[in-house]
Structure formats: structure tokens, C-alpha cells
Amino acid sequence: MDACSVDIFGRLNFFLSDCLESGMEMTEIIEFLLTSDIGERRSQLFAASVRWTIERPVAGRRCHVITHKMGFILSKIAFVPPRNKSILSAVAVFCKTTSGVYIPLVHYDYPGAAYTLMFSHGNACDLQQADGFLLHLRQVFRCSVVGYDYIGYGHSYQIGSVAGSRTEPPAPSEDGCYEAIDAVYHYVSETLRIPVDRQIWLGESIGSGPTVDLVSRLAQLEKRVGAMILVSPFWSTTRIVSSVLPWIVDMFANGAKIGNVEAPVLIVHGERDELILPEHSRWLAAECVDAQLELIVGATHNTVFLTPQTFETVGDFIDALPHNWRASIYGLPERE
């Protein structure tokens, strides 16, 4: 998540805490939010949060609708897709999700590689911006690489009412990320025919959400991936800044899912991460069956993937996997 998103979540937490401590009635808080000049998006977020606090005990459909609306507002804050669309890579293909949205995907093959790495980018990036980085990962880690966009990002689209016409996709959302990564998994497994145990799923920042969700669901189906790598992950989005908000509403509950993962897990976090504290990675590692935690000295949220130590750590982790690159058709035996 970017600094703006964290700032809004933080302000919400402090605001609710102050109101509750002052003894204000919930109806008074809502009235204040809707009439104060604090910005439309922030006002909507605050008001929805307080409404959820009031109506949380209500069971049935009404409770579900409130939760859904709150999730929509949080999505508007958590996802910051680039506004300007650059030219898409010539090798890109489009995968159709279960809701009918098409998302772009690129596959950069590394001849003879034992593993293919699927990369889920952060919230303020898209596939085309990450294209050069994907090629760098391919070269450094000596494995094939797949990158993709979430629904609502980059060149994702849906078919309009006029036959063949492309229209704007739905706004980015948690469910949209899950749909996108599911489509990527089916493409990688069925079209590229890459066995599950040769797949490495890497999620950076908000990309850890769909990554943990997919790998944990595969584990429940007794499908164990080759490995999972998380860079700057979080326990859940709202827990980044608050111990109060998670019981109101939450997104990407990685902490509740990661315990299902039985594959080797590497968690990398910048020791000086100012947006997502390293404690999140410690909490996640403690829940894992098989996890290696590496804190990168001096790295912040936006520099952790610019640090040589990160690439060395990830490279060593991949090399140590059972079907590592040394077993490929182009690999050379170890020197004695």
C-alpha cells in the first residue's frame, strides 16, 4: 500500500478512538462526518465505518450489504492503479476471468528452467510498468517469469453490449484480485502446462493478498506449489495501522490463511519499512508450517527490491528448492 492509503486508514483509526473515548453518540458521529468539510472520499470512509459499528449486530442480508459497501470504500483507498496506460508488451496475451473480464499476462520463458515464477505487483503499479523488472527477475533468478494485471488495472477490459467492443473493467477490488490470480493459475497450469510443484508464486505488498489466498486454497485441495515468496507482506490491510478496524471490516486476511500453506515459504521485509512494519512478516512467519524470514538491513518499503541482499536471499532460496536450476538441461554440475 502507498503512503496516502496508510495515512487515511490511520486517520480513521484515531478519529474513531477519539469519538468513542469522548462519549459521543454514534448518530452524532455520523452527522458530524456527513456535514464536515473533510473531503468526500474520507467522509464516506469514516461514515461507513461508523455505520458498520452501529449495525454490526444486525444479522442476515442487511449485515452483508453493509459489509459489502464498506469493502467497496476500502477498495477505493487500497488500490491506486496508474492513470496513464503505456503500450502493452508485444508478447502479452489476455486471460478471461470468471466474471468475464480480460486481464493481460506476459510469459518470459527461460530455456531449461526448472521453475516458473508468477509475480503479483503492488497497488500503485501495473503490468507494463513492471515489464522491465520481470525481465530482470528472469535473468537474475534463472527461471521463467509470468506477470499479470489485476482487474481494473492497466489494459484489463470487458466486452460491452455492442458485439466485440471493449469497455472499461470494474474498479479494482479484493475479489477482482482473486479472480485475476485464479485466471493466471489456470493459464499457467493448462495452457503453459507447468506442473504445480514447479510453480513459484511471488507477491509484493498488496500482491501478497491474492498470492496467499491462491496458495492456501491450492493446499486445501492437496496441491502443493513449488514455493511461495512474499515481499513486504501484511497480516491484513487494516491491521497495518489499526488494532480496532479488523473487527469492523478487513481485506486480504493473510494471517488467517497462511497457516494452510505447506510449501516452502520465504518472507522478505525491509527492516526500515515505514508503511508496513516488519512485525507483520514476523507474525506471518510464526503461522507458517515452513517459513524463512529475512529482514533486509536499511531497506524501506519502496527500496527493498532495490537492495542486492534481497536478490541474493531470493536467489539462494530458489536455488535450494528440490528441482533447482542446476537440474535443468542447461545446468552444469557443481565444481568439486
Which domains, ranges and CATH numbers included, belong to the chain? 3-78 (no CATH), 93-327 (3.40.50.1820)
pLDDT of residue 63: 38
Name the least confident of 14-23, 77-86, 142-151, 277-286: 14-23
Task: Give the model's confidence band at 172: pLDDT under 50 very low, under 70 low, under 90 confident, else very high.
Answer: very high
* Residue-level pLDDT at 246: 47
Report in angstroms the alpha-carbon separations of 307 from 141, 148, 301, 312, 334. Answer: 15, 24, 11, 9, 27
Known catalytic membership, residue 301? yes
| pLDDT grade for 261, boundaries at 50, 70 and 90 | very high
Mean pLDDT of the 87-111 span: 95
Catalytic residue, candidates 205, 208, 236, 281 = 205
CA atoms within 13 A on the CB side of 160: 6
- Residue 323 is a catalytic residue: no
Q: Which member of 236, 242, 273, 281 is catalytic?
A: 273
**Does 17 or 59 have the greater pLDDT score?**
17
Report, as an integer, the average pLDDT of 97-114.
96
Encode burial over 225-263: b for 16+ CB neighbours within 10 A, e otherwise: bbbbbbbbbbbbbbbbbbebbbebbbbbbbbebbebbbb
Handedness of CA 275, 309, 259, 125 (dihedral sign): positive
For residue 116, give the amino acid letter.
T
pLDDT digits over 321-335, tens only?
998 754 444 444 443
Query: Are residues 55 and 26 in contact, defined by beta-carbon separation less than 8 angstroms?
Result: no
Please tell me the pTM assigned to this model: 0.78
